[in-house]
Chain A
Amino acid sequence: MNLALLRADLTAISGEQYVREHPVDRHIYGQTPLLAVAPGSLEELAQTVARLAAEPVAIVPWGGGTQQTWGRPPARPFVVVETSRLNRILDYTPDDLTISVEAGMTLGALSAALAANGQMLPFDCPLPAQATIGGLLATAMDGPRRLGYGSARDLLIGIRVVEATGRISKAGGMVVKNVSGFDMMKLYLGSFGTLAIIASANFKLIPQPRAAASILCRAATPAPLWKLINAIAASQLVPVAVEYLEGFDVAGAPCAVAVRSEGLPAAVERHVRDVTAFAQQAGVSAEPLRDAAHEQLWNAINDAPQTATLAADEVVVRVTCLPADLSNAIAAARAAAQRANLPLQVTARALNGVAYLRVRGSAEALREWHAALLKAAPQTMLLAAPPALIAELPAFGTHIANLDLMRRIKQEFDPADLLNPGRFVVGQVA
């Protein structure tokens, strides 16, 4: 490869100051990219990808860099293609409750624009000031309020991508209901940038609620809190989030459940009353939180699974299972952590069967902990690990079905395996 020539061509597309050689601030598990390039428009992005495909050289799409540790590190030398300059709102008619934004816009910036019109996109990701829409879609990150409003899967109504050859294609539209053609949104969502680079996305928006409050229920042990969670699930209440917390300092107790209610004022008060009563029946304390205290609690919960800043001996995982199996999966993680005396933090979307765990310890202890967890929760995904461990721990769990079919899809969309090679379940296909 002639790096100087490649660099010159990329510079011709995006401009001198947007092409950097060996930028260490874009490393992934210690691997520094050959180049980092930040195209400034959809066309520049397409041309950049076409040029890299012609080389050919591997491409790592890069949004805010907050989730680059997820999955496996790049399998080959790579060029980082940044979306940071694709950060505009493309189309927004507030009264339609839809928006189209470029992939490099941060969730924080988007939320601010929406708040000005009394609207929101309730994704609740960690570090919203850095995390971009494209990155959140690529990783299918889900926040606590997926319980009430659904996840990106339910709110994404249109998409535009640059494919591995530089071709631009779109799907969906700017309407809330649409079966015109295949649902390509679902294909790209959660595909870890292995099929195409997301350039822009359209969403269905949610009006901001007139009232909101939370109830923080604390306990010394998990059991009574799961009783509370089950009571909420069996009721006709409609909380927008029910989060189980363990080893989470902000909660002010070893274990806690945070219930979030949003809607009309009377409905929110009803939730506060009923959840408090359920908590009493389960024998746990219940404290209503409003306004700033309510906001602070949820910001802390949202940030808890962040993978941008890690201790040198830290592992972060996401457990996925059927909701009724979640308490057992967490119990297995707890028991394994206690055996080796490892500090464990849990934030779990209790009624969705999703938990984000952080644990710290020696490589040996982490290895054992992870193996024990996988037995109880085979669909556990690795979000971050010390560099020494990342190559050996199974990144996507031990239960991956339909690999042949997924490889056929990858082969069809990226036969030269240029996009995020090695990162995803499909592994290396070329």
Chain B
Amino acid sequence: MNRAELIAELERILGPRGVVATPDALLTYDADGCVMDTHEPHVVALPTSAEQVAAIVRLAARAGMPIVPRGAGTGLSGGATPMQGGIVISTARMDKILQVDTANGRVLCQPGVINWELSQYLKPFGYQFAPDPSSQKACTVGGNIANNSGGPHCLKYGITASHVLAVQVVLPDGSIVWTGDGSAHTPGYDLTGVITGSEGTIGFVTAAWLRLTRLPEAVRVVLALFPDIAGASNTVSQVIASGLLPAALEIMDRLAIKAVNDMYKLGLPEAAGAALLIEVDGVEDGLDELLHDVTAICWRNGAIDVRPARTLAEQNQVWAARKNAFGAMGRLAPTYYLVDTVVPRTKLPQTMDEVGRISREFRLPIANVFHAGDGNLHPIILFDRRDRSQNQRALEAATGVMKVSIDFGGVISGEHGIGVEKQDYMTLLFTTDDLAAMAGLHQSFDPHDLFNPGKVFPKGRGCGELAALRRSGVAWSALKSS
């Protein structure tokens, strides 16, 4: 099938408005938020229904072309980048909230619904969709599900996986299935659970029942300022250890404060080395006690100021600064590389020291804006992409952050996923046998590597090869002699 035939077939399925094929337009689909690797798709499809997605998948199989699912393209690991070309299926036109079912604590959505719009829509009902990535004003729930995304409030409410009750997916064989209806124990293997976080490699999500979370009765936000990041990190470690359960604990360092100050007029003293954003929520009763205990820990760790956000407007302003901090980085450098890793929470202070050392070693400024309560770092390496030496040093600094995180008992991604960005780092964390088990799961869904091929697994170790390895098993005699 040549390109013209492919486009004609797609137009037959989707109508002319559902197909993007002009060279200029295709360029805008050559990457997601991770601009380190780019590649154009052959064509972009914009379906409106699961049936259309299924038809495209069957067509792709016939044409021998990969499928690359795409939400808003805010992903930071290259997950939506069509590294081998093929058909990008965008969910931009699958953006309907279909049913709010408060009696069963669930809402039915199409995958292209914007995370923020969902929560705004649910507010009048008294509910929210709890996962709240900082990109929530742009990213889609389909992308959230595929990446098992996190957000500041995951500290208390858990990651996306805990909020996906069931999904409708188109499988690589072109069938359309529901993994459940939102009830607690669907008989059989937990297909919802394995599809969530699979980065679009085993199923294309065409609808989902998501969990509704009741809006809390009361919320308190304070901003604690510290002379340095050590004070803020120590505070976070101690708050966690003391068994207090805030809704969010987010840190911004000196560079980040400077960037957001300009943009949001927070008037934070730029002498402050770090700001810790603390939110507690729940029933009104007891909340002040909780906040009192948390702020006491701040003072013990050398806080220079603890500022309550007294009104809703003040709270929103503080949160807007935090959630748009990455955007403000443009004020500091032409390019930034956001590295997402996780460490055990007692290791936070030492890890932040190491991040400072890496910044000095590679002579690149690193800003930090992160989900400290979960131990989820986001060192933001600031550099100029046009400078080849800086480019190289930025990559090396990122590798350094990953290695340090692993040395401290952590992992290479807390919420942004592996995609292409980190696929070759997987072997730092996993043995061949570990990867082979994941490949086994992948193979049972997508034996022909049709969905988002060449992602997650290390380059040069195809899923098929890894799965064949695990199938070969271990010989009893080999074990006996070892």
Contact = CB atoms under 8 A, between A and B. Distances in A.
A181 B190 contact: no
Nearest to A12: B480
A182 B198 contact: yes
B361 interface: no
B286 interface: yes
A415 B471 contact: yes
Interface of B: 103-105, 126, 147-148, 150, 154, 158-159, 161-162, 171, 177-194, 196-198, 214-217, 237, 240-245, 282-287, 289-290, 342-346, 371, 374-376, 409-418, 422, 426, 429-431, 433-438, 440-445, 456, 467, 470-471, 473-476, 479-480
A336 to B, nearest CB: 21
Given A175-B411, A179-B415, A425 B241 contact: no
Given A96-B346, A191-B189, A236-B215, A207 B441 contact: no
A179 B416 contact: yes
A236 B179 CA distance: 30
- Interface magnitude class on chain A: 35 or more
A50 B240 contact: no
Contact of B171 (A168, A405, A415): A405
Interface of A: 46-47, 50-51, 53-54, 93-98, 118-119, 140, 142, 146, 150-151, 153-154, 161, 163-171, 173-187, 189-191, 195-196, 207-208, 236-238, 263-271, 318, 320-324, 349, 351-354, 379, 381, 396-397, 399-403, 405-406, 408-409, 411-413, 415, 424-426
8 contacts: A97-B240, A154-B158, A175-B344, A187-B190, A187-B193, A265-B286, A323-B105, A405-B171
B476 A177 contact: no
A318 B443 CA distance: 32
A324 B178 CA distance: 20
A179 B475 contact: no
A255 B79 CA distance: 52
Contacts of B435: 181
Contacts of A153: 161-162, 190, 193
A146, A184, A189, A415 interface centre (most CB from chain B within 10 Å): A184
Nearest to A97: B240
Contacts of A208: 243
A349 B479 CA distance: 46
B418 A406 contact: no
Contact of B183 (A379, A415, A426): A379
A73 to B, nearest CB: 18
Contact of A207 (B184, B197, B245, B437): B245
A183 B161 contact: yes
A182 B197 contact: yes
B184 A409 contact: no
Contacts of B283: 236-238, 267, 270-271
Given A96-B346, A163-B470, A169-B436, A236 B217 contact: yes
A45 to B, nearest CB: 11
